[in-house]
């Protein structure tokens, strides 16, 4: 099942995407008018039943509606650093880390399909990172690896937009980098986390570690790999992330990017007017224009 937020005539709706069409989803339960609410209220089974009804109605071509992020208000957006072997090699971090390495973005970064990635006035090194995002569907804390996939409701394409001139710039007065990478400013500026084009439920992707993943800028392929190149698998990531921290429905875990980012390939970095297309097999393509702030 492909669940999407979309607007038509100015109204936000939940729809089922099938065969290039989107079908309005009848509200599966009181107070479950968004995908976030469907997940938080545990109404996915009811949504499936409603989806069967929806597909009997008249659909709307997907290209004729405005799609929005499939998750609107996540409590947490967690991202994995250097989680693809080839990306580790290109970034010179082959020997580290020895366990999942997480950083965060915030709600200000989240945008949907077609929304512009913003180049802020303060950054000139804006980079791309296509990623497979995991959407949490069931709350849990200290989740075991064995049970981890039972907490995953589905997947989406994401793009970890990065501001390299900030990420690598933290210096002490003596000129040495002693505080580590500047993750907050280097990753968390406005409109730096496109997510979409919809949420594909996990039953449609029985093996998320065997998917083609790619990113193109203006039609030129920059990244091309498979999720099988992940170092830490999704069950391990969920287990680690939940240690001492409750994962909640609608939380997003972006699982890392393959090789081919601008910072380690000579760029060029993103500029006003560029078009980003991140594609993952069995999910779809997430398209976003790039605009100067």
90 and 48 within one domain: no
- Mean pLDDT of all residues in 154-170: 92
55 and 123 within one domain: no
Check pLDDT > 80 for residue 249. yes
184 and 50 within one domain: no
pLDDT of residue 197: 98
pLDDT of residue 171: 64
- Mean pLDDT of all residues in 202-229: 98
pLDDT of residue 85: 92
- Mean pLDDT of all residues in 109-118: 98
279 and 218 within one domain: yes
Kindly write down the DSSP assignment for every residue of 33-82, as one continuous string: -SHHHHHHTT-HHHHHHHHHHHTTS--EEGGGSEEE-S-SS-S-EEEESS
Check pLDDT > 70 for residue 109. yes
Strands (E), 150-238: 152-159, 162-163, 193-201, 212-217, 220-226
244 and 123 within one domain: yes
Cα separation values, 272 from 93, 121, 125, 165, 269, Å: 31, 12, 12, 17, 10
Q: What percent of the chain has pLDDT over 90?
A: 84
What's the predicted TM-score (pTM) here? Answer: 0.95
266 and 134 within one domain: yes
- In sign, the C-alpha dihedral spanning 285, 147, 232, 247 is positive
Distance CA 226, CA 181 (A): 27
End-of-domain residue from the set 48, 68, 88: 68
* pLDDT tens per residue, range 167-209: 886 666 666 656 678 889 999 999 999 999 999 999 999 999 9
87 and 150 within one domain: yes
pLDDT of residue 7: 95
- Domain range for 16 is 2-68
End-of-domain residue from the set 68, 98, 125: 68
pLDDT of residue 172: 63
236 and 183 within one domain: yes
- Specify the number of domains making up the chain: 2
88 and 25 within one domain: no
pLDDT of residue 95: 75
- For residue 278, give the 3-state DSSP assignment: strand
Domain of 129, CATH number, reads 3.90.850.10
Q: Any alpha helices (H) in the chain, and if so which ranges? A: 35-40, 44-54, 85-91, 164-167, 183-187, 234-241, 262-265
What is the average pLDDT score of the chain?
A: 94
- Indicate the pLDDT class of residue 102, thresholds 50, 70 and 90: very high
Q: How far is CA 154 from the centre of its chain?
A: 11
64 and 88 within one domain: no
113 and 175 within one domain: yes
242 and 126 within one domain: yes
């Amino acid at each position: 099942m492909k669940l999407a937020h979309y607007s038509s005539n100015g109204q936000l709706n939940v729809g089922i995407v099938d065969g290039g069409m989107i079908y309005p989803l009848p509200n599966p339960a009181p107070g479950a008018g968004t995908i976030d609410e469907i997940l938080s209220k545990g109404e996915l089974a009811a949504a499936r039943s409603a989806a069967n009804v929806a597909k009997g109605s008249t659909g709307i071509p997907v290209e004729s509606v405005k799609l929005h992020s499939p998750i609107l208000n996540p409590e947490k957006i967690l991202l994995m650093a250097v989680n693809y072997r080839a990306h580790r090699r290109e970034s010179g971090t082959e020997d580290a880390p020895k366990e999942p390495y997480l950083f965060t973005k915030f709600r200000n970064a989240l945008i949907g399909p077609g929304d512009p990635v913003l180049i802020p006035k303060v950054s000139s090194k804006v980079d791309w990172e296509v990623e497979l995002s995991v959407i949490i569907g069931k709350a849990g804390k200290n989740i075991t690896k064995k049970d981890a996939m039972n907490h995953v409701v589905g997947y989406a394409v994401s793009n970890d937009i990065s501001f390299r001139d900030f990420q690598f710039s933290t210096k002490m007065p003596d000129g040495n980098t002693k505080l580590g990478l500047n993750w907050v400013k280097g990753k968390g500026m406005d409109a730096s986390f496109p997510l979409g084009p919809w949420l594909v439920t996990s039953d449609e992707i029985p093996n998320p570690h065997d998917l083609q993943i790619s990113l193109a800028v203006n039609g030129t392929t920059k990244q091309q790999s498979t999720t099988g190149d992940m170092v830490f698998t999704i069950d391990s990531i969920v287990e680690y992330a939940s240690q001492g921290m409750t994962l909640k429905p609608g939380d997003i875990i972006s699982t890392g990017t393959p090789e081919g980012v601008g910072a380690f390939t000579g760029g060029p970095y993103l500029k006003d007017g560029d078009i980003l297309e991140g594609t993952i097999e069995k999910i779809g393509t997430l398209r976003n224009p790039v605009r100067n702030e």
